[in-house]
Amino acid sequence: MIYLDNSATTQPDRQVLDSYTKAATQFFGNPSSIHGIGMDAERLLRKSREQAASILEVNPHEIIFTSGGTEGNNLAIKGIALQHKNRGKHIITSTTEHPSVLEACQGLETLGFEVSYLEVDQSGIINIETLKQEIREDTILVTIMHVNNEIGSIQPIKEIGETLKQYPKALFHVDHVQGFGKVDLDFNHCHIDLCTISGHKIHGLKGTGLLYVRNGVRLYSLAHGGGQERSIRSGTENVAGIVALVKAMRIAKEQQSNIKTVDILHRKLIDHLEGNKRIVINTPKEKKAPHIVNFSVPGLKPEVVIHALEQYDIYISTKSACSSKSSDESAVLIACGKDRNVAISGLRVSMSYHTSEQDIDFLCKKLDVVIKNLGKVMG
Ligand SMILES: Cc1ncc(COP(=O)(O)O)c(C=O)c1O
């Protein structure tokens, strides 16, 4: 199997599964219980929080464990909006965010908040000057992703953070779901107030993730109850899932030195795709993550290409089904100014540190065959 859909989800690492099983078996207690079994679970939870904080170089109490990226983004955006609605009702985001950001913002619009959607250039990058123009007296939140999940562009997080330093009322949230373990992000230097990470994108487990909430930043809770996670996110903690998340984070950080290899494979794949006149490359040449390559074969339906590659046990993807207004058009590619033929035929190859050179060679070979054969059928 050649699995190249790692931006959708990753195969859990064996060590992560082992950590999960061990924690779920030996530390099954409720961390809120006051007996020994509960206290053992509580100790493990505390240790995991400390480890997560040390990996991110933040304080343990700044970590709120969640169920993943969608929850983290919703908690950050709605939590800030509802907490600070008396201070202002204006939010800034970009047109190419993940649906968990865009739809959280659209949900807030129905509650009377105003949202500015920053446009992006051909590479999918926002313009800092435009951001400055959009900031208002009543702006309470700017939410911008680090790495785009469809085309891999990297937003200028440091510049955005530095800009926002001059506007202390506007908090800064970063969706780091596709960036963690692939592209460095220094929360402190970038003046980030809130940051979302998801476990299953980094060889961890589905249903795990965390939201970094900078010391002093207050959020309205979306899940009231037993007061866990500093009352920001009530609910009995998923201790084994949290242990698995931290293990995955640690492995991802260790493997980050191998990300250069992924970048070399990225270059190799792009070089190959550039040699085929039927292919349009959508991933930007610069300011892009090492693991995502997006391209279109105008005239060919992406799902047909995907299924044809599947015959060779190769798995790639099209744009995420939920990220476009029209069922077959990529909103991200449209936002980058691509014409409709390109925007309806986008394909995404997303690698991980498990991807080998042989995998990419085999993909290149079979992709050529598939495009040639399907091209003949199309006439
Ligand atoms: C950039 C980005 N943000 C958020 C999410 C949502 O994460 P999760 O699947 O953990 O809810 C995804 C998932 O595809 C993503 O790519």
E strand residue ranges, 319-362: 346-350
pLDDT at res. 324: 44
In tens, the pLDDT along 160-172 reads 999 999 999 999 9
Q: Which residue is listed with tokens 């313009």? A: 127
pLDDT tens by residue, the chain, 379 residues: 999 999 999 999 999 999 999 999 999 999 999 999 999 999 999 999 999 999 999 999 999 999 999 999 999 999 999 999 999 999 999 999 999 999 999 999 999 999 999 999 999 999 999 999 999 999 999 999 999 999 999 999 999 999 999 999 999 999 999 999 999 999 999 999 999 999 999 999 999 999 999 999 999 999 999 999 999 999 999 999 999 999 999 999 999 888 899 999 999 999 999 999 999 999 999 999 999 999 999 999 999 999 999 999 999 999 754 444 456 899 999 999 999 999 999 999 999 999 999 999 999 999 999 999 998 766 5
179 lines ligand 1 (CB under 6 A): no
Residue 149 CA: nearest ligand 1 atom is 16
Compute the distance between CA of residue 47 and CA of residue 87 in angstroms, rounded to an integer. Answer: 37
Q: Helix, strand, or coil here: 68?
A: coil
Q: Is the model's pTM score more than 0.95? A: yes
171 lines ligand 1 (CB under 6 A): no
279 lines ligand 1 (CB under 6 A): no
Compute the distance between CA of residue 164 and CA of residue 141 in angstroms, rounded to an integer. Answer: 10
Residue 206 CA: nearest ligand 1 atom is 10
Compute the distance between CA of residue 49 and CA of residue 169 in angstroms, rounded to an integer. Answer: 28
Residue 199 CA: nearest ligand 1 atom is 10
Please enumerate in sequence order all residues whose Cβ is within 8 A of that of 192, keeping only pairs 6 or more positions apart, or say none: 157, 161, 172, 173, 174, 185, 212, 214
Pocket test for ligand 1, best of 154, 157, 177, 200 (most atoms within 8 A of CB): 177
Compute the distance between CA of residue 296 and CA of residue 2 in angstroms, rounded to an integer. Answer: 20
Query: What are the distances in angstroms from CA 149 to CA 141, 201, 217?
Result: 21, 11, 27
Structure letter (DSSP) for residue 66: E
In tens, the pLDDT along 246-262 reads 999 999 999 988 889 99
Compute the distance between CA of residue 200 and CA of residue 350 in angstroms, rounded to an integer. Answer: 14
Compute the distance between CA of residue 257 and CA of residue 56 in angstroms, rounded to an integer. Answer: 16
Token pair, residue 294, equals 């997006």
Q: Helix, strand, or coil here: 378?
A: helix
Find, among 284, 283, 280, 303, the residue nearest to 293 by Cα: 283
Compute the distance between CA of residue 29 and CA of residue 327 in angstroms, rounded to an integer. Answer: 45
Residue 58, Cα to own-chain centre: how many angstroms?
20
177 lines ligand 1 (CB under 6 A): yes
In tens, the pLDDT along 313-356 reads 999 999 754 444 456 899 999 999 999 999 999 999 999 999 99
Pocket test for ligand 1, best of 75, 198, 324 (most atoms within 8 A of CB): 198
204 lines ligand 1 (CB under 6 A): no
Residue pair 224/230 in contact by the 8 Å Cβ criterion: no
Q: Whose CA is nearest to atom 7 of ligand 1?
A: 69
Residue tagged active-site, from 190, 322, 336, 364? 322
CA 183 to centroid of ligand 1, rounded, Å: 16
Structure letter (DSSP) for residue 95: T
198 lines ligand 1 (CB under 6 A): yes
317 lines ligand 1 (CB under 6 A): no
Residue 68 CA: nearest ligand 1 atom is 10
149 lines ligand 1 (CB under 6 A): yes
Does 364 qualify as catalytic in the annotation?
no
Share of the chain above pLDDT 90, in %: 94
pLDDT at res. 320: 52
